[in-house]
Amino acid sequence: MEQRRNKVDETHRGLPSQLTMPCRLLLGPGPSNVHPRVRAALGMNEVGHLDPSFLKIVAESQELLRYAWQTDNRFTIPVSGSGSAAMEACLANCVEQGDVVLIGVNGYFGERLCDMAARYGADVRRLEKSWGEVFSLEEMAAGIQTHRPAILGLVHAETSTGALQPMEGIGKLCREFDCLFLLDTVTSLGGIPVFLDRWHVDLAYSGSQKCLSCPPGIAPLTMNERALAKIGRRKTKVPNWYLDMSLLDKYWGNERTYHHTAPINMNYALREALLLVAEEGLGERWERHQENARILWEGLAELGIECLVDRDYRLASLTTAVVPDKVDAKSVCSYLMENYSIEIAGGLGQLAGKVWRIGLMGFNSRRENVLLLLSALDKAIADT
């Protein structure tokens, strides 16, 4: 007994101390800093996942999501998982073996869509542009006419490149050729104009940790009746039980049939983040992101730093700044973290070492953050 007690005491002495984390200004591609009201919502009392008060919160989140996305879609839910889970949910439900899926690839997350679609048995076809460029309506029309896809997948706001894909006319083309239009809005929802119904988007997904300034781990997803009808015509079961929308529809719909234990406090946080969007107003919020991006772009130019993407197609929420010659991208990122506790990120894939990715998303899109970063970046380049 004494030996056992001593072993317990030794184990206790070896434990780490109470958790503390450094305070960072997160100006990378995500996550963004959490709004104080969202952080407070995370600490609210837990209730059961079928508690009437929780179901009320979920219903409010669904309505607020419809506002943020500018859609009337009945099926609009928070997926219990990251943005990649919502991305996978779209493909798992709507892709059947042999479906032709046409994907616009002009960055890392277009590649991810291709990978996921192939895993669900799609006949994946690619439309390709250089990273940092966008597709013209004529290029989209030619691709759809050539491949006659069941689904067209596009990234609205490509986080790897900072490019904003124009939307006008693409959804109408999809209707003309009877294919579903799938849109990634991970880095646009809550920061960049999004009009799902006007653009004839059939299914879309996003993440919580970008322009919504909510912790990662819960992901908005929406499908219209055209998408739900395709799911209803499936010849086989959705090959992913957890993300089967026919099952989740019964949980998030009127039936409230048990499916899984939802992350209660993350739903609190998402509801509060979406309420902040509605309180500010979409127009005002979009204008704030655009104005702060303008200040950043002009400040970068004064430092002699170019932006990768043409100004007409730049994301206001995520800027790719071209690393100047003879400057080590990683060293600058490390300097900002060590001396200013500011996070920015390097490039992904083809752009690794060539760009910095600077995020001004949600709560972080503020003038004082831009000015601090520009000053710190100037010092970092000089000192590294």
261-303 pLDDT per residue, tens: 889 999 999 999 999 999 999 999 999 999 999 999 999 999 9
The string of pLDDT tens digits covering residues 168-192 is 999 999 999 999 999 999 999 999 9
Structure tokens at 249: 């529809």
Choice among 42-56, 67-81, 183-197 with the minimum mean pLDDT:
42-56
The string of pLDDT tens digits covering residues 121-130 is 999 999 999 9
Section 357-373 average pLDDT: 98
CA of 43: how far to CAs of 38, 74, 268, in Å?
9, 30, 9
| 115 Cβ contact list (under 8 Å, min separation 6) | none
Q: How many beta carbons lie within 10 A of that of residue 302, not counting itself?
A: 10
DSSP class of residue 267 equals H
Contact 150, 117 (CB under 8 A): no
Q: DSSP for 163-185?
A: EE---TTHHHHHHHTT-EEEEE-
Q: How many beta carbons lie within 10 A of that of residue 311, not counting itself?
A: 8
Domain-wise residue ranges, the chain: 25-32+281-383, 36-278
Section 302-319 average pLDDT: 98
Model confidence, pTM: 0.94
Q: What is the mean pLDDT of the chain?
A: 95
How far apart CA 274 and CA 285 sit, in angstroms, is: 12
- CATH classification of 36-278 is 3.40.640.10, yes or no? yes
CA 265-271-275 angle, to 5 degrees, is 145
- CATH classification of 25-32+281-383 is 3.90.550.10, yes or no? no
